[in-house]
Amino acid sequence: MNATELAFPEATFDAVIFSFNGIDCVFPQSDRLKVFAEVRRVLRPGGVFYYSSHNGIGHVGRACVSMSLSMWLRSIRFLARQLGNRQIRTGYWVYWEGSEELLMYASSPGVNLRSLETSGFTLGAVRGLYRYPQATSVSLKRNEEALDREMASGQGSARDLLKASPQTNVKLSRLTWFYPHIQYVVFA
């Protein structure tokens, strides 16, 4: 089904998941915003939307703190692929999957958060991961008010999804510069 035109009635679902950076393949950015609008439309009030997205800046930034020559070389190759990429201004970076070049949305977490807020979502959590399936992550923030609303509506599983110990909370700038994979949990 086309994610920009979901064939479901309004307020149909308690949760929507757009898994494994799949939303990053939606091009152009105006269609990506249509996906957010459609997800918001089909979610019930208080419903949860979860998706993951690339972060091009974090892809390069993690090499800056790495002592690994191979990571530095990968980042240099990644940046070299961006030469001539006119779409990078709109948030689309060139990635390689095997021998295939892919244009993927990889804008910063701040840009994603502004798009989500403009689409009418309330922030639940933002998590950064170095790579999949690595379990270590950091969280930007927890929205206790949104959690309480979810719990009151009987959707207790959201609390498990958003658990983060206080020592893992970080600033948006750290997520932006050091984490190439970002997970978003927002509420309708």
The residue written with tokens 């459609």 in the block is: 38
Using CA atoms, how far residue 140 sits from 14, 167, 179, in Å, is: 24, 11, 12
Banded model confidence at residue 135, pLDDT cuts 50, 70, 90: very low
* 115 and 95, same domain (yes or no): no
Average pLDDT over residues 119-137: 73
Convert the pLDDT of each residue in 140-186 to its tens digit: 644 445 445 554 555 444 334 344 333 356 778 888 888 888 999 99
Convert the pLDDT of each residue in 39-65 to its tens digit: 999 999 999 999 999 999 998 888 777
Does 90 have pLDDT greater than 80? yes
Indicate the pTM of the whole model: 0.80
Report the alpha-carbon distance of residue 104 to residue 176 in Å, rounded: 17
Report the alpha-carbon distance of residue 166 to residue 161 in Å, rounded: 15
Asked if residue 3 is part of any domain, the answer here is: no
* 127 and 183, same domain (yes or no): yes
Asked if residue 126 is part of any domain, the answer here is: yes
Average pLDDT over residues 69-81: 91
Q: Whole domain around residue 120: which residue ranges? A: 13-55+106-187
Asked if residue 6 is part of any domain, the answer here is: no
Average pLDDT over residues 24-48: 97
The residue written with tokens 């997520």 in the block is: 175
